[in-house]
Each structure stands twice: as C-alpha cells, then as structure tokens.
C-alpha cells in the first residue's frame, strides 16, 4: 500500500471500481430518464388521487342519501355522482379537457366545503371527519394535477 491508500482507506485497490465521472455531471440521456421517471410518478399520483376521490364519492353517497327526503334530491345526488365518476374516469383515461374539468369540480367542492368545516365539527364530529377527508383528497388532487401539468410542460420544453 502506498501513502495515499493508507491516508484514505476508502480508495479502492481496483481502478475500475470508481465511477467514470462524478455524480453531479449527468448526460442529457440521464437527465431525460430522470425527468421521465418524475413525470410518470406525478401522473401515477394524480390518477391514484382521482380514483380515491371517485371512490370516496361512492362511499359518501349513502350518508348524503340519508339527508335527502325528496325525490328531486335523490335525482340530484345521483346526477352529481355520475358527473364526478364520469369526469374522473375520463381524466384517468386522459380525455380532452377532462383533467381540467375534474380539477375544477374538485376545487369548487373544496371552496364550498372548507369554510363550513368548523361548524360541522361543532355539530357532528363523524360528519366533519367525512367532509375533511373529502376536502383533503380533492385539494390533493388539484395540487397533483398542477404538479403533473407543470412537469409535462417542463419536459416538452427540453
């Protein structure tokens, strides 16, 4: 062993064990592969959140059904669930304008639900928990669409 190897025992005895270039230097192919991985991950997160929102909409439907006594209320509830599910499934399938429409529906719902949450916690804790889960999942879906859209625009520019 020479003096350098004794001073720094991390150095390998085999020269080929060291990387050919420092980690902070990336080729364009490596950067494109990393960007594709991040884009795919953000797309998966968005699609998962869309399915969570749609599933939660179905779970919450019986609770909303108990509140409505009139047949018109039942029809309105069914129509709203069909719109959410249809738009959500179209957003997962990447239909034109479906993602933005679904994000708009989620954002409008968050703006309608969030101000009433403190009163719901005073009235009924169980209903407030259901509304909070709905609000947080829809807000996360809107944020995920924003991240996925910005990632897609960045990768198109490069």
Cα separation, 115 vs 106, in Å, equals 15
- pLDDT for the residue 50: 95
Backbone angles phi, psi at 27, to 5 degrees: -80, 170
Model confidence over 51-109: pLDDT tens digits? 999 999 999 888 887 755 677 788 888 999 999 999 999 999 988 899 999 999 999 99
Domain regions of the chain by residue span: 41-157
- pLDDT for the residue 72: 76
What is the full DSSP assignment across 91-153? HHTT-TTHHHHHHHHHHHHHHHHGGGHHHHHHH-HHHHHHHHHHHHHHHHHHHHHHHHHHHHH
Tokens found for residue 120: 């719901």
Return the closest-CA partner of residue 57 out of 142, 134, 132: 134
Model confidence over 6-46: pLDDT tens digits? 555 555 555 555 555 555 555 555 555 566 677 788 889 99
Confidence of residue 148 (pLDDT cuts 50, 70, 90): confident
- pLDDT for the residue 39: 78
pLDDT score of 123 more than 80: yes
Q: Residue 54's CB: how many other CB atoms inside 10 A?
A: 22
Cα separation, 111 vs 33, in Å, equals 38
Confidence of residue 134 (pLDDT cuts 50, 70, 90): very high
The pTM for the full model equals 0.72
Exposed e or buried b per residue across 70-92, where buried means at least 16 C-beta atoms within 10 angstroms of its C-beta:
eeeeeeeeeeebeebeebbebbb
Pick the more confident residue, 136 or 127.
Answer: 136
């Amino acid at each position: 062993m020479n003096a350098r190897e004794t001073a720094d025992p991390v150095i390998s005895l085999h020269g080929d064990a060291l990387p050919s270039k420092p980690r902070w230097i990336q080729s364009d192919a490596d950067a494109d592969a990393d960007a594709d991985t991040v884009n795919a991950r953000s797309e998966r997160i968005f699609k998962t959140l869309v399915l969570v929102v749609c599933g939660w909409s179905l779970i919450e439907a019986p609770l909303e059904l108990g509140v409505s006594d009139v047949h018109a209320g039942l029809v309105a509830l069914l129509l709203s669930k069909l719109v959410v599910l249809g738009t959500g499934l179209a957003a997962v399938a990447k239909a034109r304008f479906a993602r933005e429409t679904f994000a708009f529906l989620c954002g409008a719902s968050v703006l309608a639900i969030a101000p009433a949450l403190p009163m719901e916690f005073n009235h009924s804790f169980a209903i407030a928990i259901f509304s909070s889960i709905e609000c947080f999942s829809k807000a996360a879906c809107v944020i995920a669409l924003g991240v996925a859209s910005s990632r897609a625009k960045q990768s198109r520019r490069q």
